[in-house]
């Protein structure tokens, strides 16, 4: 009966799809976040260089034609051409971009802190984010531009960024991932030859399973089958900064979820988030993602699996040669790739039970770091994160570093 009601609801939405798409198109053309970004408006110029840090912009082309932005950062006293420490790639989460590592003061933001500790900091930005550079042939107004999920972010974006940094530095790199950045990392690490380029990884709010997620807002969207509705309406880009995106959030909250504290209803209660800086954060966040990516994440919640995108029986047979999507086997992550995982007691997205599920499937035993009062956002924006968390990441990396000067 529930599936019938969902089908009817999707049918009704489809009847109004042309009107909704028309409104969405107006939003696309009228929203400043979709106008071509001037060449001088870069992450380096906007956030990093004004804080006094050396920063250079790099462009990486993925194997499927997307043009990603990478930033390379060194300390205020260092020389970007004479880095003393090993390279570290920072990989952001869902609806975020590389700016999320630099939103607080230099003494509180992980990107700045690593640079001040003489790491060679590289900042990743996946396809679709405002800092990246589009595609070699597709416009961001094309449906095909948004035909991807975290599966492609792992297999192409992250893998190709790691390969680029490895070729530029001629050494193995460290990886730091947060949230979706950990999904990408764990999936990528299951692939052959990745250990030749990655020394170790620190995973903040590690996710490979989402079966026990407790975030009320997210569960409401899953139960509404919002992912199916959006795709049925022909909407392929998710831009929560647009008028359409704001109305979408309002519709989910309406009478069903207390969204007075929207962040808490999505991520869990964050102990140390600086509420006085929310207006500043919102100058940069959120970034766009794809509807297909949301669909893939919701598949993980519903099915309790860590698998490739589920296209349905017949397309799965065509693409994968089997009726169900292949799993990402965490047992394929080599023992030689050292992992450090930090998770929080108040995190409604990376639930402790799901973290335990991940640990059971790994061949190695990661170093674990548990913060009882931390929510999902605290791991990147806590005012106390340096002493609570980041100093421990640095200690872990230094214990794995092979550079004699480090």
Contacts of 136 (CB under 8 A, 6+ apart): 61, 65, 66, 67
- Residue 278's pLDDT is what? 87
**Beta bridge pairs of residue 301:** none
The one catalytic residue in 99, 347, 351, 378 is 347
* Residue % of the chain over a pLDDT of 70: 83
Q: What is the pLDDT of residue 261?
A: 78
Tell me whether residue 376 is one of the annotated catalytic residues. Answer: yes
Residue 15 placed within a domain: no
Q: Is residue 36 part of a domain?
A: no
Residue 368, domain extent: 43-401
Please check whether residue 96 is in contact with residue 181, taking contact to mean a CB–CB distance below 8 angstroms.
no
The number of C-alpha atoms within 13 Å of 83 and in the hemisphere containing its C-beta is: 24
> Can you say how many angstroms the Cα of residue 369 is from the centroid of all Cα atoms in its chain?
20
Give the strand order in the sheet containing 173-178: 54-61, 67-74, 120-124, 87-91, 173-178, 198-204, 338-344, 367-371
Round to whole Å and give the CA distance between 111 and 113. Answer: 6
> Between the CA of residue 305 and those of 150, 210, 211, 300, 358, what are the distances in Å?
14, 8, 8, 5, 11
CATH of the domain at 379: 3.40.50.1820
Q: Is residue 17 part of a domain?
A: no
In a domain, 374, yes or no: yes
Judge whether 2 lies within some domain: no
179 catalytic residue (yes or no): yes
Question: Which pLDDT tens digit goes with each residue over 179-201?
Answer: 999 999 999 999 999 989 999 99
Residue 197 within a domain: yes
**Are 44 and 71 within 8 A, CB to CB?**
yes
Could you identify the residue written with the tokens 């169900």? 324
Specify whether 347 is catalytic. Answer: yes
Q: pLDDT of 64-104, one tens digit each?
A: 999 999 999 998 876 656 656 899 999 999 999 999 999 99
At 234 the three-state DSSP class reads: coil
406 domain residue, yes or no: no
Res. 2 pLDDT band, cuts 50 70 90: very low
26: pLDDT strictly greater than 60:
no
The answer on pLDDT for 27 being more than 90 is: no
> pLDDT tens digits for 318-369?
999 999 999 999 999 999 999 999 999 999 999 999 999 999 999 999 999 9
Q: Residue 223 contacts by C-beta under 8 Å, 6 or more apart in sequence? A: none
Q: What is the mean pLDDT of the chain?
A: 88
Structural domain count of the chain:
1
Catalytic residue chosen out of the listed positions 265, 307, 376, 378? 376
CA angle 187, 378, 345 (to 5 degrees): 80
**Tokens linked to 36:** 């071509």
Location of structure tokens 């200690």: 395
Catalytic residue among 179, 265, 291, 338, which?
A: 179
What pLDDT band is residue 274 in, cutting at 50, 70 and 90? confident
Tokens in use for 263?
């962040």
For position 83, what pLDDT does the model report? 54
pLDDT higher at 180 or 18: 180
Model pLDDT for residues 210-242, shown as the tens digit of each residue: 999 999 989 999 999 999 999 999 999 998 777
Does residue 235 sit within a domain?
yes
Residue 161 pLDDT > 70: yes
Q: How far apart are CA 112 and CA 101, in angstroms?
A: 8
């Amino acid at each position: 009966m529930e599936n019938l009601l969902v089908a009817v609801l999707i049918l009704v939405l489809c009847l109004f799809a042309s009107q909704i798409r028309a409104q969405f198109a107006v939003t696309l053309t009228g929203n400043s976040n979709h106008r071509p970004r001037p060449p001088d408006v870069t992450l380096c110029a906007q956030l990093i260089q004004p804080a006094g840090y050396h920063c250079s912009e790099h462009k990486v082309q993925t194997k499927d034609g997307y043009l990603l932005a990478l930033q390379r950062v060194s300390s205020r006293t260092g020389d970007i051409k004479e880095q003393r420490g090993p390279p570290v790639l920072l990989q952001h989460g869902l609806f975020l971009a590389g700016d999320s590592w630099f939103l607080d003061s230099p003494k509180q933001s992980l990107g700045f802190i690593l640079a001040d500790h003489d790491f060679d900091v590289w900042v990743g930005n996946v396809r679709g984010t405002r800092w990246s550079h589009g595609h070699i042939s597709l416009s961001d107004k094309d449906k095909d531009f948004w035909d991807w999920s975290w599966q492609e972010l792992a297999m192409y974006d992250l893998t190709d960024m790691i390969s680029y940094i490895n070729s530029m530095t001629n050494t193995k790199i460290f990886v730091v991932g947060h949230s979706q950045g950990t999904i990408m990392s764990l999936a990528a690490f299951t692939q052959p030859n990745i250990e030749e380029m990655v020394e170790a990884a620190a995973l903040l709010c590690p996710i490979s399973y989402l079966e026990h997620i407790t975030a009320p807002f997210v569960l409401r969207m899953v139960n509404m089958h919002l992912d199916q509705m959006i795709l049925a309406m022909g909407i392929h880009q998710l831009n929560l900064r647009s008028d359409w995106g704001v109305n979408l959030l309002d519709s989910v909250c309406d009478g069903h979820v207390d969204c007075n504290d929207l962040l808490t209803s999505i991520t869990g209660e964050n102990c140390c988030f600086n509420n006085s800086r929310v207006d500043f954060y919102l100058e940069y966040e959120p970034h766009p993602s794809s509807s297909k990516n949301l669909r893939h994440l919701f598949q993980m919640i519903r099915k309790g699996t860590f698998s490739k995108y589920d296209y349905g029986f017949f397309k799965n047979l065509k693409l994968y040669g089997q009726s169900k999507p292949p799993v990402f086997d965490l047992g394929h992550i080599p023992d030689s790739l050292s992992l450090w995982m930090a998770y929080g007691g108040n995190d409604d997205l990376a639930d402790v039970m799901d973290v335990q599920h991940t640990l059971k499937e790994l061949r190695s035993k990661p170093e674990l770091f548990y913060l009882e009062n931390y929510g999902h956002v605290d791991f990147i924006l806590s005012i106390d994160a340096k002493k609570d968390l980041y100093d421990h990441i640095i200690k872990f990396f230094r214990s794995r570093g092979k550079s004699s000067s480090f």
